[in-house]
Amino acid sequence: MRYIFLTTIKLTILLSSSNLLALDRINTSEVYWKSDKASSLKISDTQFKLTTTAMLRDNDPYDKARVVTVNPEYPTMETNSSLFDSLYALGIREMIKNSVDRITDSAFSSSECHCFETGKKWNYVWTRDISYSTHLALASLDQKRTLESLLFKVSNRRYQRSDSAEIVQDTGTGGSWPVSTDRVVWALAARELLTYLTGVEREKFLKTAFLALKNTVDNDKVAVFDQMDGLYTGEQSFLDWREQTYPNWTAKNIIHVGMSKSLSTNVTHFIALETVSNMAMELGLINQFKYYLEYL
Q: Is residue 206 part of a domain?
A: yes
161-195 pLDDT tens trace: 778 999 999 877 666 899 899 999 999 999 999 99
User: Over 70: is that where the pLDDT of 84 sits?
Assistant: yes
Closest CA to 5 of 126, 96, 104, 101: 96
Q: Is residue 18 part of a domain?
A: yes
Domain extent at residue 236: 149-293
Pair 184, 52 in one domain: no
173 DSSP 8-state letter? T
Pair 268, 160 in one domain: yes
Pair 171, 45 in one domain: no
97-111 pLDDT tens trace: 999 999 888 777 667
Contact 113, 149 (CB under 8 A): yes
Pair 93, 176 in one domain: no
Pair 193, 272 in one domain: yes
Q: Is residue 66 part of a domain?
A: yes
Pair 63, 187 in one domain: no
Pair 275, 209 in one domain: yes
Q: How many residues does the chain have?
A: 296
Pair 202, 266 in one domain: yes
Pair 88, 207 in one domain: no
Q: What angle do CA 181, 184, 189 make, to 5 degrees?
A: 145
Pair 278, 170 in one domain: yes
Q: Please give the Cα distance from 118 to 140 (Å, whole number).
A: 18
Q: Is residue 110 part of a domain?
A: no
Residues 51-55: what's their mean pLDDT? 91
Whole-structure pTM value: 0.87
Q: Is residue 114 part of a domain?
A: no
Q: Is residue 171 part of a domain?
A: yes
Cα–Cα distances in angstroms (integers) from residue 250 to residues 44, 121, 143, 287, in the given order: 50, 26, 39, 43
Closest CA to 28 of 94, 85, 99: 85
For 95, the enclosing helix (H) or strand (E) is helix 82-97
Q: Is residue 263 part of a domain?
A: yes
Among the residue ranges 44-53, 91-100, 188-197, 232-241, the one predicted with the least confidence is 232-241
Pair 93, 191 in one domain: no
Predicted local confidence at residue 187, as pLDDT: 98
Closest CA to 5 of 101, 155, 140: 140
**Number of domains present in the structure of the chain:** 2
Q: Is residue 190 part of a domain?
A: yes
Residues 224-240: what's their mean pLDDT? 89
